[in-house]
């Protein structure tokens, strides 16, 4: 049983019983038939044998997020922990995970195509996609490796671009906020016969809440569409650039409440510069016998440089990767059966360097710490069948095999970054070598519809990730060889989804066990062998209280615990909560369409308390945030917006951490007001 001492679960419980009677007061439904892509093929949400949460285009425009954590705060089981500027750490049915390969626990995608190659993830990679102008964002909670392969362990965050336009249109917008915050955006759509074109993007300048911080960011997308009788084509290009002056942690117990420290920046020299480019061409052909063939060749590029302000010796890291590949899938509908078979192939060429300008100690010397290249190849065939034994029941079986090979080259010519006389050098550089990982990921789900709008499902699935290149080759403390296995997570989930008159609901209970997760032990060695258990209840409820008022609740109760004694502490941690894993979180929203011109939303975001260290001796108390958003349409062409973020001026930490023996915090910003104006032609 899950038990938490908090007002938020009680509020959710009471609100549920307040909303239920309203459900019977009208026959109007608020849950429209929605098609999602959580299984890589379009599926109606009511028929999905698992869960996918959707943040719609309408919601994204109202939120007008300055950081993607504002958009995903309304998704149960999900927390994007904001760092400074555009940095972030992710939790989806998991703790917030950190470390060299922690980003490999989640697959971040645009239109189902991973933002990064599976062995080259980055903790902050969500700033490499235009989520601000997405058509919608889908979040798959739980393992999805049977459909997406490596890295889809705890979940998938999929940013979806727009379909072909129906009409030509131009949209322009500008926003203004505190600390010299400015953002402009544009979206141009064209149509001509069987062709369509969209060009859209945004540019942001932020002076930063903290001293000597802030960022400049630009994102642009270009999509071309062709629709013929037998085939259709979508060509999509994404470009991003980020130049950030990064502010570091403030340190000391409850430092985020200290007026003298809130705007302090202990690391004014820190920076992050990052560029990315992605292109794909999706070709869909209709063949005979209800058969479709989809081909998608793609190209990816990313490059990043940043100062590691979070360690005292502060080296500069540069990394990048270029990828080329293709995805192919054949789908056939025979009536009782729907078949999908396909293969994903990719080649990646990556590099990493780490250089320290000034000497810090004999074991952390100035000069080159790491300089290596990694080429990787991935080959992944997969198959899926959906069998409908009755009109109300469907069985969905999927299986995927992934083979990942790394070809690593040490460019330094030596095994240590230190002088020959130093025996405990911090930076170890293994000899050039090759590594191969092979993994199977099955998934089985059963759905049963009780009516046209209410259904239940059972889902059994496995997620995995191969070790990341940094875990294999960026070693420390004399470790010159790793014996790492792929991480594996097995999940069982039971869910109910549907609508009753004005009332819609989506509830899921899950239990997951992860084996062989990779960690760095107290000797700073990268090893496998960690086990953890994850249990939770997630609930989404929405009701139309009246013709103009809608209430929505998303709540999560969860436990994420170590289930064996791994050497990341000098005391036993078996059974402890994993650090940065709140037992509860939630989001309550009241939306009021005051008139045809005025739309307002009141939002309460609750994040529960969590431990800051594996020993469970240091705890962050959690926080509550209240946000108010409003848009006013003067006409069809002009709209004004006002957002009051952290309206009650709560003192909180975006992230609480414990490192080098001290509490560390990223400070949450105080009450902030943003104003926007948008027009369309």
The β-bridge relationship of strands 106-110 and 155-160 is parallel
Least-confidence region, from 5-19, 233-247, 271-285: 5-19
Domains in the chain, CATH or no CATH each: 7-33+169-680 (2.40.170.20)
- Which residue carries 């239990």 as its tokens? 511
Section 406-431 average pLDDT:
93
What is the per-residue pLDDT for 33? 52
With cut-offs at 50, 70 and 90, classify the pLDDT of residue 4.
very low
Do 376 and 351 touch, CB atoms closer than 8 A?
A: no
Distance between CA atoms of 252 and 617, rounded to whole angstroms?
15
Residues 6+ apart with CB under 8 A from 14: none
Q: How much of the chain, in percent, has pLDDT values that exceed 90?
A: 83
With cut-offs at 50, 70 and 90, classify the pLDDT of residue 131.
very high
The β-bridge relationship of strands 43-44 and 35-36 is antiparallel
Straight-line distance from the first to the last Cα atom of the chain, in angstroms, rounded to the nearest whole number: 55
Q: Has residue 385 got a pLDDT over 90? A: yes
- Which residue carries 């300008």 as its tokens? 357
What is the per-residue pLDDT for 46? 67
Q: Has residue 77 got a pLDDT over 90? A: yes
More confident residue, 17 or 141: 141
Quick one: 281 exposed, middle or buried, by C-beta within 10 A (0-12, 13-18, 19+)?
middle
Do 267 and 245 touch, CB atoms closer than 8 A?
A: no
Section 108-131 average pLDDT:
94
**CA distances, 563 to each of 463, 515, 577 (Å):** 18, 9, 10
**Chain centroid, CA 646 distance in Å:** 23
Distance between CA atoms of 554 and 19, rounded to whole angstroms?
13
Section 292-321 average pLDDT:
95
Q: Has residue 10 got a pLDDT over 60? A: no
**How confident is the model over 625-640, as pLDDT tens digits?**
999 999 999 988 999 9
Which alpha helices (DSSP H) does 289-365 contain, by range?
A: none
With cut-offs at 50, 70 and 90, classify the pLDDT of residue 660.
confident
Which alpha helices (DSSP H) does 66-182 contain, by range?
A: 68-72, 145-148
What is the per-residue pLDDT for 677? 98
Distance between CA atoms of 194 and 227, rounded to whole angstroms?
5
Residues 6+ apart with CB under 8 A from 359: 365, 366
What is the per-residue pLDDT for 7? 53
What pTM was computed for the model? Answer: 0.94
**How confident is the model over 566-581, as pLDDT tens digits?**
988 889 999 999 999 9
CA proximity to 201, closest of 115, 131, 113, 136: 131
Q: Has residue 529 got a pLDDT over 50? A: yes
Query: Mean of the per-residue pLDDT values for the chain?
Result: 92
Q: How much of the chain, in percent, has pLDDT values that exceed 70?
A: 95
What is the per-residue pLDDT for 118? 86
Section 450-454 average pLDDT:
90
Phi, psi of 437 (to 5 degrees): -130, 135
Least-confidence region, from 62-66, 98-102, 360-364: 98-102
DSSP state of 512: E
**How confident is the model over 19-39, as pLDDT tens digits?**
444 443 333 344 445 677 777
Least-confidence region, from 55-64, 289-298, 442-451, 500-509: 500-509
């Amino acid at each position: 049983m899950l038990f938490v001492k908090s007002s938020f679960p009680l509020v959710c419980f009471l609100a549920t019983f307040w909303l239920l009677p309203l459900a019977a007061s009208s026959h109007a439904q608020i849950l429209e038939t929605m098609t999602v892509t959580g299984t890589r093929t379009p599926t109606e949400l009511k028929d999905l044998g698992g869960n996918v949460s959707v943040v719609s285009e309408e919601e994204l425009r109202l939120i007008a997020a300055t950081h993607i954590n504002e958009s995903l705060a309304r998704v149960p089981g999900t927390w994007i922990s904001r760092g400074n500027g555009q940095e972030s750490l992710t939790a989806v049915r998991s703790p917030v995970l950190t470390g060299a390969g922690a980003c490999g626990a989640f697959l971040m995608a645009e239109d189902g195509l991973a933002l990064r190659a599976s062995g080259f993830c980055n903790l902050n990679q969500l700033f490499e996609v235009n989520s601000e102008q997405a058509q919608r964002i889908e979040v798959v909670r739980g393992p999805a490796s049977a459909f997406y392969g490596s890295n889809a362990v705890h979940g998938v965050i999929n940013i979806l671009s727009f379909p072909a336009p129906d009409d030509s249109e131009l949209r322009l917008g500008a926003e203004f906020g505190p600390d010299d915050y400015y953002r402009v955006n544009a979206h141009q759509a064209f149509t001509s016969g069987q062709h369509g074109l969209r060009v859209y993007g945004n540019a942001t300048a932020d002076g930063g809440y903290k001293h000597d911080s802030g960022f400049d960011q630009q994102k642009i997308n270009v999509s071309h569409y062709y629709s013929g009788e037998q085939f259709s084509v979508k060509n999509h290009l994404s470009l991003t650039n980020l130049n950030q002056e990064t502010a570091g942690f403030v340190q000391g117990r409850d430092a985020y409440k200290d007026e003298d420290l809130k705007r302090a920046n202990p690391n004014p020299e820190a920076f992050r510069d990052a560029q990315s480019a992605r292109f794909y061409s999706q070709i869909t052909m209709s063949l005979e016998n209800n058969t479709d063939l989809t081909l998608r060749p793609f190209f990816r590029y990313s490059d990043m440089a940043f100062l590691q302000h979070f360690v005292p010796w502060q080296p500069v890291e540069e990394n990048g990767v270029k990828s080329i590949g293709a995805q192919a899938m054949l789908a056939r509908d025979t009536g009782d059966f729907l078949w999908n078979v396909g293969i994903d192939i990719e080649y990646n060429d990556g590099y990493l360097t780490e250089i320290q300008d000034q000497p810090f100690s004999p074991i952390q010397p100035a000069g080159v710490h790491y300089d290596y290249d990694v080429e990787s190849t991935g080959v992944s065939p997969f198959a899926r069948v959906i069998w409908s034994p009755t009109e109300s029941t469907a069985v969905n079986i999927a299986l995927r095999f992934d083979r990942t090979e790394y070809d690593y080259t040490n460019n330094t010519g030596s095994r240590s970054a230190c002088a020959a006389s130093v025996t405990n050098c911090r930076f170890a550089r293994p000899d050039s070598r090759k590594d191969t990982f092979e993994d199977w990921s099955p998934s089985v789900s059963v759905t049963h519809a009780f009516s046209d709008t209410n259904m239940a499902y059972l889902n059994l699935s496995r997620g995995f990730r191969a070790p990341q290149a940094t875990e294999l080759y960026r070693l420390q403390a004399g470790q010159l060889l790793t014996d790492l296995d792929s991480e594996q997570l097995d999940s069982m989930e039971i869910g109910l989804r549907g609508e009753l008159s004005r009332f819609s609901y989506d509830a899921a209970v899950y239990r997951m066990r992860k084996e062989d997760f990779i960690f760095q032990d107290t000797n700073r060695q990268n090893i496998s062998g960690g086990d953890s258990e994850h249990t939770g209840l997630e609930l989404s409820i929405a009701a139309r209280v009246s013709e103009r008022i809608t209430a929505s609740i998303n709540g999560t109760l969860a436990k994420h615990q170590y289930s064996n004694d791994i050497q990341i502490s000098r005391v036993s941690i078996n059974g402890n909560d994993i650090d940065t894993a709140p037992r509860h979180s939630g989001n309550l929203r009241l939306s009021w369409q005051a008139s045809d011109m005025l739309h307002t939303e009141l939002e309460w975001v609750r994040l529960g308390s969590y431990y800051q260290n594996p020993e469970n001796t240091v705890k962050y108390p959690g926080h509550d945030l209240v946000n108010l958003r409003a848009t006013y349409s003067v006409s069809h062409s002009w709209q004004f917006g006002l957002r009051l973020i952290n309206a009650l001026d709560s003192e909180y930490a975006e992230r609480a951490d414990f490192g080098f023996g001290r509490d560390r915090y990223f400070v949450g910003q105080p009450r902030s007001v943003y104003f926007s104006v948008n027009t369309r032609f």
